[in-house]
Amino acid sequence: MTETVGFGIVGCGSIAEIAHFASIAKTPEARLVACCDINPDTAARAAEKYGAEAWYTDYRAMYAERSDLEAVIIATPNNHHRNQAIAAAQAGLHVVVEKPLAVTNKEAWDIVEACRRCGVKLMVGCDRRFWTQNQWAKQLIEDDVIGEVLMARASLHEHWHLYQNHVAKTDFRLRADVAGGAALPDTGAHAIDLLTWLIGAPVKRAVGVAKRLAMPADYTLCDDTVWLLLDYENGAQGCVSCNRFSHAVSQATELYGTEGTIYTTTDATNPFQSVPMAVYTNRDYAIEELPEILRNHRWPQLFWVEDIVNRPVEKRWTALHPPREPNNYTNMTRHFMDCIIHDEEPLVSGEDGARAIEVMCAIYKSMESDAWVELPLQEEIVPPYYAPLPTEG
Ligand SMILES: NC(=O)c1ccc[n+]([C@@H]2O[C@H](COP(=O)([O-])OP(=O)(O)OC[C@H]3O[C@@H](n4cnc5c(N)ncnc54)[C@H](O)[C@@H]3O)[C@@H](O)[C@H]2O)c1
């Protein structure tokens, strides 16, 4: 059994700083071996700050020279994901690829197939699944607390200035030829993945729009406004909305079941969802029968009456405050480590990542045809303005 796993990071920009270097440091079985950035100053600074043994400007050299590498995290602009992930798989490395897994559906399935062929693990960095409130939501759905989920909605609204002007290290998000888009592949990637996981079935068909309504054309050609409707194979209906012009950040997920409702928020709360999670169930539970999450994290409104006198427990909205630590990124790295050590399939599989890209590509197609688009797609869809790199591997 592996004792520690040697990690490399490709792309030492903002998400590597916010998420990956820190969570490797917090995971005892993970060891940072090397990092790589096309910008030598960025690579050297990251290596020094986070204690990597070596730094590189070419991922191929890092994969070839570091025999102590077992896994890499790819956190570069979207157009590089395909070639860098496939090269990692061919070097026998397990791979985490930041979301979106790729830009076109063909790129995404190329990565999945290369990892399958080479027998390495592939996980997509959809960290929203690793927020405790979303993990609790998934558990409560599996415990049948809200019955059959028939309708669900996920949104993520965030002004473009916020990340671009204060956090991002490069302007790749503004370049449609590099990123493929903004509201759809950047924020939409999270909302589509989270909704699909919570609903628990693949998307059967999709329709929607991804347009640039607010961002000036001389600033970017990327989309800033997204509305999607999704039909799932289990009969559920989903809705995703995202924009890049709302100054008040908002992320919310609403799950409507035949026996209850769950709301969760991650990035920001708002006056109407002022707690990270709330649950309403219509089921008749005695207090000792309540699923563990509700029993342990729900406070009665009147301590000595509500839970003692009311049988079944009172039907009301229950606000839950999940612990902030371990955070989503630490949970995600810990999970990937466990998958490597215990030879398990990662929670956000390559197939999940590729199906999310299919949804995004279906939206571009649905805008052309003004109609629902069935999945899986039969041809490669290249988002408007995207200029794929020459393929390698
Ligand atoms: N999970 C999340 O919530 C989340 C948040 C932010 C970004 N991301 C994803 O992470 C990826 C990177 O985004 P970011 O915000 O960190 O970008 P960024 O602009 O802050 O950093 C990108 C880094 O990659 C480097 N780079 C560019 N081309 C390279 C190459 N060929 N080889 C090696 N390094 C290269 C740049 O020099 C830069 O340091 C994107 O795919 C993005 O969608 C995910």
pLDDT at 2 over 80: no
Cβ atoms within 10 Å, residue 274: 10
Shared domain check, 283 and 172: yes
Write the pLDDT tens digit of every residue in 101-112.
999 999 999 999
CATH number at residue 283: 3.30.360.10
Within-domain flag for 365: no
Q: Which domain holds residue 31?
A: 5-126+330-348
**What mean pLDDT is predicted for residues 136-152?**
98
**200 in the same domain as 160:** yes
Q: Examine the domain organization and report whether 147 and 83 are in the same domain.
A: no
Measured by CA distance, the residue closest to atom 23 of ligand 1 is 13
The DSSP secondary-structure symbol of 304 reads T
Q: What is the mean pLDDT of residues 163-170?
A: 96
| Secondary structure E strands in the chain | 5-10, 30-36, 54-56, 71-74, 94-97, 122-124, 149-157, 203-211, 225-232, 237-243, 250-257, 260-264, 277-281, 318-320, 373-374
12 in contact with ligand 1, CB cutoff 6 A: yes
* Tally of structural domains, the chain: 2
The answer to whether residue 379 is domain-embedded is no
pLDDT in tens, 282-316: 999 999 999 999 999 988 888 778 888 888 999 99
Task: Please tell me the distance between residue 170's alpha carbon and the centre of ligand 1 in angstroms.
Answer: 8
49 with 105, same domain: the answer is yes
DSSP state of 275: S
Q: Do both 253 and 138 map to the same domain?
A: yes
Q: Are residues 218 and 335 in the same domain?
A: no
- Mutational pocket test of ligand 1: of 18, 21, 36, 38, the residue with most ligand atoms within 8 Å of the beta carbon: 38
What is the pLDDT, as a whole number, of residue 232? 98
CATH number of the domain residue 60 falls in = 3.40.50.720
Do 75 and 149 fall within a single domain? no
Residue 149 lies in a domain: yes
Q: Is 60 in the pocket of ligand 1 (CB under 6 A)?
A: no
Same domain, 271 and 310: yes
Q: Is 37 in the pocket of ligand 1 (CB under 6 A)?
A: yes
313 occurs within a structural domain: yes
Q: What pLDDT was estimated at residue 121?
A: 98
- Of 326, 357, 373, the domain-final residue: 326
Q: Looking at the structure, tell me whether residues 172 and 90 fall in a common domain.
A: no
Per-residue pLDDT, averaged over 139-145, amounts to 98
Same domain, 45 and 78: yes
Percent of the chain residues topping a pLDDT of 70: 99
Q: Is the C-beta atom of 193 inside 6 A of ligand 1?
A: no
Ligand 1 and 237: CB distance under 6 A = no
The answer as to whether 359 is a domain residue is no
Question: Is 369 inside any structural domain?
Answer: no
Helices (H), 182-327: 188-199, 292-297, 306-309
If asked whether residues 222 and 157 sit together in one domain, one would say: yes
Please indicate, yes or no, whether the overall pTM of this predicted structure exceeds 0.95: yes
